[in-house]
Structure 1
Amino acid sequence: MEKAIYYEDYEIGSVRETTGRTITETDIVLHAGQTGDFFPHHMDAEWCKTTDFRQRIAHGTLIFSVGVGMTATLINPAAFSYGYDKLRFIRPVFIGDTIKVKVVLKEKYDSPKHPDKGFVVENVQVYNQKEELCLAADHLMLCDKKGFYGTEA
């Protein structure tokens, strides 16, 4: 679905949440193949038995990628992703864990270089099935302001 959401339309403190997605061994194997990260923490079940976690853990970058993908439910032609800041891998995600994502609109501010645009910052939070925070990052979006490019004022 496509819908234009402008800078002025975003409200600080608004929250959206996703449904769950279970992380599988296939997810880990595919991600290892795509990234070249075959470290034993992700791939060697026997070696992992000697670690504090006692089992394989999903790549942090896998959980980040899946979590971000879970939040992508709308095409917004008035905004685009500017990047991510403050990415933190807080707690491991294991094979069989089900993750959900909560997005909280954290702040917004005018673009210093473009008066027709503003930045919107969303805090992306990935939780496991125990409601434990596993990952957090700030997503920056550069958004068109109303009144420019033929939009309503």
Structure 2
Amino acid sequence: MTEIYFEDYAIGDARTTSGRTITETDFVVHAGHTGDFFPHHMDVEFAKTTPFGQRIAHGTMVFAIGVGLTATLINPVAFSYGYDRLRFIRPVFIGDTIRTVVTIVAREDDPKRPEVGRVIERCEVKNQRDEVVLAADHILIVERREKPA
């Protein structure tokens, strides 16, 4: 575990996760977990009639996997406050390989807690063609190295 304090985050710093190929099993497991058996995800024949011509991944599944890929750094002085501006930009299909690019885009004071700050990480999930398929801003609450008096 590495302690990365609010002051240590630099705007523009970025990291890219490893890739993860989306499978038929992912579709089935996610549908079972969520109860979302919408035909766009689960019905091959129905999906052939849509503009995409094939089943598309659940947006919530792409989000869950894309965010899960980022969970490689354990920072004991930070915690997730949530996500803003979540967008499903392009469809993801069985066989696509996704990865997530995380870029620090802002550092802000926390309006309620002066001993911490907020770090905004832009998460862009990209496919094997380097196209952004999902984007969201992850808000971290991070302890300050030097606490205000």
TM-score, length basis structure 2: 0.97
Q: Partner residue of 1:6?
A: 5
Question: What does residue 79 of structure 1 align with?
Answer: 78
**Residue aligning to 2:144:** 145
- The 2-side partners of 1:4 and 1:130 are apart by 34
Secondary structure of the corresponding residue to residue 13 of structure 1: coil
Alignment of 1:70-149 (within 5 A): 70-148=69-147
Deviations 1:75-129 (A, max 9, x none): 1110000000000000000000000110110100111111110000000000111
Please name the residue that 1:24 is paired with: 23
Distance 1:77 1:20 in 2: 25
Aligned to 2:54: 55
Amino acid of the structure 2 residue aligned with 1:127: K
Which amino acid is the alignment partner of residue 137 of structure 2? Answer: D
Percent of aligned positions with the same letter in both sequences? Answer: 62
What is the number of residues matched between the two proteins? Answer: 147
Distance 2:104 2:144 in 1: 17
Q: Please report the RMSD computed on the Cα atoms of aligned residues, expressed in angstroms.
A: 0.6
Q: Distance in 2 between matches of 1:72 and 1:11?
A: 19
4+ long deviations beyond 4 Å: none
Letter of the 2:29 partner, please give it.
L
| TM superposition shift of 1:27 | 0.4
Which ranges in structure 1 are unaligned for 5 or more consecutive residues? 149-153
Structure 2 alignment gaps of length 5 or more: none
Partner Cα distance (2:110, 2:53) in 1: 47
